[in-house]
Structure 1
């Protein structure tokens, strides 16, 4: 497994030190090379032609049975989706979320596949999140990385630091709408059950990449289910 723990991680404590300098960026850039090699060796993985960002699609990452099992968990446990640094419920993100912690067989199956895909140690990953989007619901344009100038960053430093990689799996196909748009990169991806999209939130130098801007377009007909996993630069802790 890839070890992306940067120098001095054990000394990270909540303070006014924002902890996002050159050494951290270098560690993220070096880790990305190893993750990139792992992804490209995975069956069905293809790098997408995306302007200014690193983006891959893995076809048939989950089976339809695995997708159905995860959807059932989402339906049983969904709550309004939160946004980091925002109010508990935000008009910026209007879906519903289900936190999928280790234990249930469907969760274990997905986590095992993600470990094989990325080569990252499980402790660097946040808990899986399932999202449900009904008609009209969306996730407006945003970045997954953390803005180090925002007050919430001081807490995120102690929880694993930057979000480096994002992995999102489509669990079904709504009748209309619900595409994932990367406006800066010039990529639009339609939901297809079982397909996974994974991207690097950092640039080639390990710094947050504004080109990774993306959005979940509104669902026009039906319901959309996705499964999301975010990875940190150091072990994640809540």
Structure 2
């Protein structure tokens, strides 16, 4: 019987260790800590009430004896001359003071300490505190916030609990901007006439200058909403439409709303592609399975955690819930691509300052074994579902081309990682910006090459 007991002890130890697993990397899982703390506060209040009750009894005893001893010590012999008083003195010193001693020594901390000991297994550890502190520094650097701004909660979203006190400031700034715009309007018209001829030259220079900026700076600029802007001519070629994917049977009666986000690489957004009920069900299924997101080491191929990917993820299959199969079929309907060789649906929740720095979804030529175990070829395309709105930050940016796609709950963005020839499209290098305010939930569907031979035929040139 000793061996099973040892095994149980080991399992309990492993469970307690797993409880410390990177709280700071998932805001969704951190919500459990609020309920843990709430339970501890309730337990603490029970302890305080027990202590107050004990002290109240001691106080009444002290007040009673105080008045008694004052009277007795004025005429000790006369007081003890009464046999009842003498008996009561002996009785008090022999038994009642012993009872008081027991009352004073009575431990009321048991319930609270026991609860605290149990809950401490689920507390964040030093790594979590360090990770959260680094996240604040990362947010300061990326969004150019001074220490006072972030410490006092003056963050961009005025509706956020820490930002509501600054609502007047935001209103003042908005009114100030409106007045400035009205005063500037006449001057702007004259300026536009003078700048029309120089506009194209400036755009070319701006694009060239942006391309010379280090990737890290471009990434942070795009996260802040800065960087190059698409020319009006290119913007005029972006449209929104009702899309049935060449009269796909599943879309004939209810075509999806498709919106062009970028032209090169071609990025589209599908609006209202996933319902709130489906989102909540996915989150419900994924939350217990969330684990620290990993990256594949390009040298060893081993999965490992990295400081540049701060999130937790879980994988959901069609066997987990029939709804997952419905979503897979929906992706197949709008993209026209085979889902049988695609990876399972990956659900991700970002933590404090959660981010994923610039990376490729597809395997490059120097990573020939990237998806060898799957046997389904390279990742031909990415479908990214946004399952929450993000109050500030959290954009998906493409540093090489200057594109920024902002989270919008219930939508999905789609792009091809490979050209039709099978060559990688290096302009699809992208990143998830740090979440400044809010909670970011996404899910990914990575679609692979195998099975797409007739759905997306090979091109004749590498860049086709």
Per the normalisation by structure 2, the TM-score is 0.40
- For residue 134 of structure 1, report the CA deviation from its aligned partner: 1.8
- Deviation at 1:204? 5.4
Equivalent residue in structure 2 for 1:217, among 410, 433, 436: 433
SS at match of 1:228: strand
Is residue 2:419 matched to residue 1:208? Answer: no
Post-superposition offset of 1:186: 2.2
Could you say what secondary structure the match of 1:69 adopts? helix
Are the structure 2 counterparts of residues 94 and 40 from structure 1 closer, same or farther at C-alpha, using a change threshold of 3 Å? Answer: farther
Partner Cα separation in structure 2 for residue 71 and residue 212 of structure 1: 27
Q: Which of 409, 414, 439 is the matching residue for 1:193?
A: 409
Question: Is the alpha carbon distance of 1:77 and 1:58 closer, same or farther for their aligned partners in structure 2, counting shifts above 3 Å?
Answer: same
Q: Could you say which residue in structure 2 is the equivalent of 1:38?
A: 245
Cα pair distance change 1:39/1:138, threshold 3 Å: farther
Q: Which residue, 299, 302, 315 being the options, matches 1:99?
A: 315
Distance 1:229 1:211 in 2: 19
2:348 maps to what in 1? 131
SS at match of 2:256: coil
Higher mean displacement: 93-102 or 82-91: 82-91
Q: Map Cα deviations across residues 182-204 of structure 1 (whole Å, 9 max, x no partner).
A: 12232211111110000010235
What whole-Å deviation, never above 9, does each CA across 1:135-174 have from its counterpart, x for those lacking one? 2111110111101212633x52762111101000000112
Aligned position for 2:291: 79
Question: Who is 1:64 aligned against?
Answer: 276
Partner of 2:338: 121
Q: Residue 363 of structure 2 corresponds to which residue in structure 1?
A: 146
1:40 deviates by 10
Higher relative contact order (CA 8 A, sep 6+): 1
Distance in 2, Cα, partners of 1:90 & 1:39: 42
Q: Is the Cα–Cα contact under 8 Å of residues 244 and 334 in structure 2 kept in the other structure?
A: no
SS of corresponding position for 2:287? helix
User: Do the aligned residues in 2 keep the contact of 1:39 with 1:118 (CA within 8 Å)?
Assistant: no
1:214-233: per-residue Cα shift (whole Å, max 9, x none)?
Answer: 10001112210001000111
- For residues 43 and 93 of structure 1, do their structure 2 counterparts lie closer, same or farther at Cα, with a shift above 3 Å needed? same
**1:160–1:63 CA distance, 2 compared to 1 (3 A):** same
Secondary structure at 2:278's aligned position in 1?
Answer: helix
Provide TM-score, normalisation by structure 1.
0.76
Q: Deviations over 1:61-118 (max 9, x none)?
A: 1011111111222212100112133542122311100101112133122112112112
Counterpart among 391, 402, 406 of residue 175 in structure 1: 391
Distance 2:355 2:434 in 1: 4
2:185: which partner in 1?
Answer: none
Instruction: Find the counterpart in structure 1 of residue 161 from structure 2.
Output: none
Which stretches in structure 1 are left out of the alignment for 5+ residues? 1-35
- Structure holding more helix per residue: 2
Query: Is contact 2:261–2:405 with CA below 8 Å preserved after alignment?
Result: no
Residue-pair matches, total: 199
